[in-house]
Amino acid sequence: MKNICIVGGGACGVAAFIELFIQITTQDLKDKVAIQIIEKSSKAGYGLAFGSEEKGHLLNTQSELMGIYSREVNHFTEWLSENADKARGKVEDTGDIESAYTSRIMYGDYLYEQFTYYLNKAKVLGIEANLVCDEAYDVDYEDNKFIVSLQHGDPIKCDYIILALGNPEATNFKSFEKYPQFLNTPWPSHKVLELVDPEDHVGILGSSLSGIDTIMTLVDNGHKGKISCFSIEGLLPRVQPVHNKDIEREILTLNNVHKIKREHFRAPRVTEIFRLFMQEVEKQYGKRLDWKKLDRMGGDPYDFLKEDIAAAEKGGDPLLNVAYSLRYDAATLWSWLTRDQKNLFKKWLGPQWTINRHGMPLANAKKLLPLFESGTLNVFAEVGEINNDGVGFQVSYGSDNIQNVDKLINATGSPSKLEAMDCTLTSNLVKKGLIRPYEGGGALINELTMESLNSKSINGIYATGHMVNGMLLDVNAVWYNVRSISSLTKDIIFKVRYGEDS
């Protein structure tokens, strides 16, 4: 009997459990595998991401890409159709159900229902599968077994570990936690509402999707005071159309990029891929473009927001749609880049790619417009020194500008580097050499199997989601994680069936 331990019961943990269940049952391995799912909350599926009941906390991807089954990407859409009564009031932008941006809690309900169904099925079929409501904080390796230590319960011995830890808290402003006017994360949202008074001037560190969610938490609960977002670039996410226009790329294709490898005997360069991207966008526009004018750095976020809403209502502009069309190929292109080229991409194009590839729902964008127009909301770039004056914070930005805010919320997102993640389990795994940091962020893994590589040559630890944010690209996308988890579980089941050395 091989024991598999899934650490984390959010979306990735649920996907891993279901995929293992399907492979165990279809390969008749019911008496050879046991599964333990360790989740610190009482219910699997929700986590911080999908446990929010705020009406403005919407999925940032249409429902048609959110199925939890690797080969049934439309399953969530089908579930929504079958549960229309539950979805009422929890779905935005519904030209049709496939294009719906549902509430986060609705997706959490879906994950919980799927998980519960297969957990109960496992018991009926005689498969040992248990949800352990506890928190893992350490792992040891003795006598060819992993020993997972828990905060409250007895240690669990296992042969394989799947790290599905979700997104750790930001650590870049941890020193501010001593101040009562500061909150290090906008999750769960009730902490924001407990901290902030309705008339407070609220400062939000970050203007990406987490920053947008923070704004939604405030305005959907009647906040009247000013809101100021501070970030390095001062860029808002672009606006996702209800229906993305299908783009059939002819220039930026895997074939053309692979030709660079084949003809020049080297990895492609970021400049070469971006040149193909520009040509593809210009082809869709039907004209040459002034790319310097398309650079949003230093521009007015309000003007861009108005442009983006207008474009989204027409199906998006070619720039946004070409970026969207790359969703299935971007991971392959990323894997073809060298480490240095990946770092160059992050430094040179990272912010622009992020706002185009990971846009906000149209419904939320429309809520931002009146906030800008009334002077309630501002977005400031080039955030600098931040100081607490005893009653609030002074935030400097740009050229010697300062804003005084009553409360400050960190919405900058999770750290990339393993060493910077505020996670006891991750820290202990790194200290013991059981996982190895990748220079570009996250853990070093075999991209084909998701198995972690370490200095001790110990096999059997797998990672997914934000834990592999450096080696893989779209680790915040559920559909991408589901697909990579399918490869991960296949590797484990293959070893169970044929032996570790097969």
For the chain, which residues make up each domain, given as ranges? 2-46+105-168+415-498, 174-237+361-410, 239-358
For 466, counting Cβ atoms within 10 Å of its Cβ (0-12 exposed, 13-18 middle, 19+ buried), the class is: buried
Rg of the chain in Å (alpha carbons): 23
Mean pLDDT for the stretch of residues 75-97: 69
For 134, counting Cβ atoms within 10 Å of its Cβ (0-12 exposed, 13-18 middle, 19+ buried), the class is: middle
pLDDT tens-digit map of 146-171: 999 999 999 999 999 999 999 998 89
Q: Which of 85, 133, 87, 121 is nearest to 107 (CA)?
A: 87
Predicted TM-score of the model (pTM): 0.94
Cα dihedral angle (51, 54, 60, 62), rounded to 10 degrees?
Answer: 90
Q: Which of the four pLDDT bands, split at 50, 70 and 90, describes residue 87?
A: low
Mean pLDDT for the stretch of residues 103-116: 95
Tokens 């199997």 sit on residue: 449
* CA atoms of 168 and 443, how far apart (whole Å): 14
Judged against a pLDDT cut of 90, whether residue 220 lies above it is answered with yes
* CA atoms of 292 and 295, how far apart (whole Å): 5
Neighbours of 219 (CB within 10 A): 19
CATH class of 2-46+105-168+415-498: alpha beta
Under 8 Å between Cβ of 192 and 217 = yes
pLDDT tens-digit map of 313-334: 999 999 999 999 999 999 999 9
Under 8 Å between Cβ of 277 and 252 = yes
Give the 3-state secondary structure of residue 282. helix
Judged against a pLDDT cut of 70, whether residue 98 lies above it is answered with no
Give the 3-state secondary structure of residue 57. coil
Judged against a pLDDT cut of 80, whether residue 502 lies above it is answered with no
Judged against a pLDDT cut of 70, whether residue 371 lies above it is answered with yes
Q: What local confidence, expressed as pLDDT, does residue 91 receive?
A: 55
* CA atoms of 342 and 335, how far apart (whole Å): 9
Q: What local confidence, expressed as pLDDT, does residue 88 receive?
A: 47
* CA atoms of 304 and 358, how far apart (whole Å): 16
- For domain 174-237+361-410, the question of CATH label 3.20.20.70 is answered with no
Please tell me if the domain spanning 2-46+105-168+415-498 has the same topology as the one spanning 174-237+361-410.
yes
